[in-house]
Amino acid sequence: LFNLTLAGLPELELFPCTESRQTALWEISNEVSRPRARDFWLGVAILAGSAAAAFLAVRWLMAVVQWPALIERSLPVAAVIVAFAWVLRRLHRRGMQQALREKLLARGIPVCRSCGYLLHGLALEPGRCPECGRPFDEIVRSILEGE
Ligand SMILES: [Zn+2]
């Protein structure tokens, strides 16, 4: 499951070796088993909102078009399930990207917290990510100073 939803995350390629990547993933899996309450409820709210939106969209579609009775009954349920699964995967990937960036920074690899861009070898001035424009924070500055 872990590898399936994380397939293709660019942050995974930035670790210096397989072992440090495995260690980071292991650390993260321990941390996410006790998420902060605010993040948890935010995730629940986003999931519930998306499922409700999918349900309403399908209901609207049904008012516009005449469907066979079987589809009328099953489509709203299917829409809610698909929306729920899709949003859950998106949230999981986003959360993992944030966590992986923190792990990279902790290992002295300068990545942008906002977009994951590798900041190796960049000058401290003007001190912004060339990809998204986020100002370097303290940890990025200290890594780049030591390079
Ligand atoms: Zn950036």
Higher pLDDT, 3 or 124: 124
Q: Is the dihedral of CA 77, 81, 82, 87 positive or negative?
A: positive
What torsion do the CA atoms of 31, 32, 37, 41 make, to the nearest 10 degrees?
170
How many angstroms is it from 112 CA to the middle of ligand 1? Answer: 5
From the number of C-beta atoms within 10 Å of its C-beta (0-12, 13-18, 19+), residue 100 rates as: buried
| Whole-number pLDDT of residue 29 | 83
Using a CB cutoff of 5 Å, list residues around ligand 1, an ion. Answer: 112, 114-115, 117, 129, 131-132, 134
How many angstroms is it from 56 CA to the middle of ligand 1? Answer: 36
| Confidence label for 1 from pLDDT (cuts 50, 70 and 90) | very low
DSSP summary character for residue 122: -
| pTM as predicted | 0.78
How many angstroms is it from 87 CA to the middle of ligand 1? Answer: 23
Neighbours of 1 (CB within 10 A): 6
DSSP summary character for residue 66: -
What torsion do the CA atoms of 53, 57, 62, 68 make, to the nearest 10 degrees?
-70
20-69 tens-digit pLDDT: 999 999 998 887 667 677 888 888 999 999 999 999 999 888 888 888 88
How many angstroms is it from 94 CA to the middle of ligand 1? Answer: 15
81-140 tens-digit pLDDT: 999 999 998 888 888 999 999 999 999 999 999 999 999 989 888 899 999 999 999 999
| Whole-number pLDDT of residue 63 | 86
Q: Which residues contact 22 (CB under 8 A, 6 or more apart)?
A: none
70-79 tens-digit pLDDT: 888 888 899 9
Residue 87: left if φ>0, alpha if ψ -120 to 50, beta else—which one?
alpha
